């Protein structure tokens, strides 16, 4: 029969589970728990009562709950101070796919793209299985992007707004923060976010920033040589970056929009920045290639007068890697002018920070560096293939 409310629904579930004979474990899986907790539904109270009055004492029952709204799960389940306090046996954080996992998934679907194309796909969709599932194997990446975002009634054209409404109660506040961060590649401090958005400095902002970090939209890091008060917030969600750059506000009728932007300056600029963010999603693989997996390191950035470093690996073995990320269709060539800039940047960094550690220039590129008289400036390289390590 149709349950009249959640208390009745859980009572019916209890009755059904109690009717199952035998000694084998009984698994109950509740997906997207936050969506069940609608206003005035009293879902949490009913769930608490079901678990505390019966579920917790039933040794056969294995209850698994899941939710994409990370903040809701933390506040109402993992860190609940009420009826669900300390009831969790184990929590599992499901991270987005890595490049390796994305490649394996695409192969399982019969999508045989090269790694350059897979990287570009990752820079657009991130490692979200739901979005990757929408790819059609008989179409190229470019055709898929047009079909997913730019044709009439494209399935992902409105996903950004839906995503924020489904994850956050204060979606407008969260989007304000995201959209101001999208305009500053290197990120902003809390004070700079307040100045740019006019959001009041207080608990609501603190909670929103924590929510966005928990849901992997942004990362927070302390700039090299700064204290916690200098914490920087940076937008790192690749799907959101792509949407805000190209999809939001798009009113065109060009169903080949992405195809027609292949050689545009805008697309080249986007791919460069997105590859930097892709690299930040694969720090473990970068450290593995550099042979420093076991070396304690701080991952941060740095900005000084006349120089900026987007990825800096500060190692306990008295070495600092200044990383440059370059997304190109062939080997990347360091010119005389660029070599001078790299040397100058390293000197500015050393002088400003007063560091005595060894400084290594490290390049993360798609196909490596073209060997010439200036490539010797670089002590270590990481190729795109190295980021596909499990």
Average pLDDT, stretch 13-39? 94
Q: Among 3.40.50.970, 3.40.1350.10, 1.10.1740.10, 3.40.50.410, what is the CATH number of 288-387?
A: 3.40.1350.10
Burial 181-208 (b: 16+ CB within 10 A, else e): bbeebebbebeebbebbebeeeeebebb
**How many CB atoms lie under 10 A from the CB of residue 242?**
21
First to last CA, the chain: 48
Q: What is the pLDDT of residue 306?
A: 85
**How many CB atoms lie under 10 A from the CB of residue 167?**
21
Average pLDDT, stretch 249-253? 81
Contact 64, 55 (CB under 8 A): no
Cα separations in angstroms, 281 against 20, 218, 311, 345, 380: 45, 11, 12, 24, 19
Q: What is the pLDDT of residue 230?
A: 75
Percent of the chain past pLDDT 90, that is, above it, reads 82
What's the mean pLDDT when you consider all of the chain? 94
Q: What is the pLDDT of residue 252?
A: 78
- On the question of pLDDT at 378 being above 90, the answer is yes
User: 265-280 and 283-290 are packed helices; what angle lies between their axes, rounded to 10 degrees?
Assistant: 70
| pTM given for the model | 0.91
Contact 388, 122 (CB under 8 A): no
d(CA 91, CA 205): 26
Pairing of the two strands 380-383 and 358-365: parallel
Q: What is the pLDDT of residue 63?
A: 96
Q: What does the domain layout of the chain look like in residue ranges?
A: 6-78, 99-157+250-270, 160-243, 288-387
Burial class (CB in 10 A: 0-12, 13-18, 19+), 225: middle
Quickly state the pLDDT bin for 293 (edges 50, 70, 90).
very high
Quickly state the pLDDT bin for 276 (edges 50, 70, 90).
very high
Q: Among 3.30.479.30, 1.10.1200.120, 1.10.580.10, 1.10.10.10, what is the CATH number of 160-243?
A: 1.10.10.10
Residue 7, Ramachandran bin (φ over 0: left; ψ between -120 and 50: alpha; else beta): alpha
Task: Please give the angle made by the CA atoms of 225, 229 and 235, to the nearest 5 degrees.
Answer: 85
**How many CB atoms lie under 10 A from the CB of residue 76?**
21
Contact 325, 275 (CB under 8 A): yes
**How many CB atoms lie under 10 A from the CB of residue 120?**
21
Average pLDDT, stretch 131-156? 96
pLDDT tens for residues 217-242? 999 988 888 766 678 999 999 999 99
- Better-predicted residue by pLDDT, 295 or 85: 295
* CA torsion through residues 250, 256, 260, 266, sign: positive
Which of 111-120, 165-174, 244-253 is modeled with the greatest confidence?
A: 111-120
pLDDT tens for residues 179-197? 999 999 889 999 999 999 9
Q: What is the pLDDT of residue 228?
A: 65
Nearest to 13 by CA among 33, 25, 29, 34: 29
Query: Is there a shared CATH topology between the 160-243 domain and the 288-387 domain?
Result: no
d(CA 363, CA 384): 11
CA 241 to chain centre: 10
DSSP H/E element including 27: strand 26-30
pLDDT tens for residues 302-350? 988 889 999 999 999 999 999 999 999 999 999 999 999 999 999 999 9
pLDDT tens for residues 86-136? 899 999 988 899 999 999 999 999 999 999 999 999 999 999 999 999 999
Contact 61, 96 (CB under 8 A): no
Average pLDDT, stretch 163-174? 89
d(CA 33, CA 263): 44
Assigned token pair, 219? 């990362």
- Better-predicted residue by pLDDT, 74 or 107: 107
Helices (H), 182-282: 190-197, 203-214, 238-242, 265-280
């Amino acid at each position: 029969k149709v349950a009249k409310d959640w208390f009745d629904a859980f009572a019916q579930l209890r009755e059904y589970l109690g009717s199952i004979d035998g000694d084998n474990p009984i698994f109950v899986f509740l997906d997207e728990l936050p969506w069940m907790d609608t206003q005035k539904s009293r879902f949490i109270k009913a769930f608490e009562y079901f678990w505390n009055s019966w579920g917790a004492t039933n040794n056969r029952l294995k209850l698994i709950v899941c939710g994409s709204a990370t903040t809701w799960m933390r506040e109402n389940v993992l860190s609940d101070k009420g009826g669900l306090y300390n009831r969790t046996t184990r929590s599992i954080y499901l991270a987005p796919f890595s490049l390796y996992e994305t490649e394996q998934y695409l192969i399982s679907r019969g999508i045989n793209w090269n790694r350059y194309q897979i990287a570009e796909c990752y820079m657009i969709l991130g490692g979200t299985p739901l979005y990757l599932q929408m790819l059609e194997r008989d179409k190229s990446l470019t055709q898929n992007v047009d079909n997913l975002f730019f044709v009439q009634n494209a399935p992902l054209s409105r996903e950004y707004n839906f995503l924020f409404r489904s994850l956050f109660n204060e979606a407008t506040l969260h989007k304000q923060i995201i959209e101001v961060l999208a305009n500053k590649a290197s990120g902003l401090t809390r004070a700079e976010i307040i100045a740019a958005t006019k959001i009041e400095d207080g608990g609501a902002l603190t909670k929103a920033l924590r929510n966005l970090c928990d849901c992997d939209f942004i990362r927070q890091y302390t700039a090299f040589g700064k204290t916690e008060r200098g914490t920087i917030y940076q937008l790192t969600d690749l799907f959101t970056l792509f949407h805000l750059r190209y999809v939001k506000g798009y009113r065109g009728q060009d169903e080949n929009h992405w195809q027609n932007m292949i050689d545009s300056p805008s697309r080249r600029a986007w791919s460069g920045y997105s590859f930097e963010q892709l690299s930040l999603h694969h720090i473990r693989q970068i450290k593995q290639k550099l042979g420093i997996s076991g070396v304690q390191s701080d991952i941060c950035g740095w900005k000084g007068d006349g120089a900026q470093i987007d990825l800096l690996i500060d190692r306990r073995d008295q070495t600092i890697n200044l990383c440059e990320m370059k997304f190109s269709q062939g080997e990347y060539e360091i010119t005389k002018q660029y070599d001078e800039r790299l040397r100058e940047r390293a000197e500015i960094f050393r002088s400003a920070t007063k560091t005595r550690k060894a400084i290594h220039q490290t390049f993360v590129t798609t196909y490596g560096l073209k060997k010439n008289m200036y490539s010797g400036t670089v002590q270590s390289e990481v190729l795109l293939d190295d980021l596909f390590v499990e």
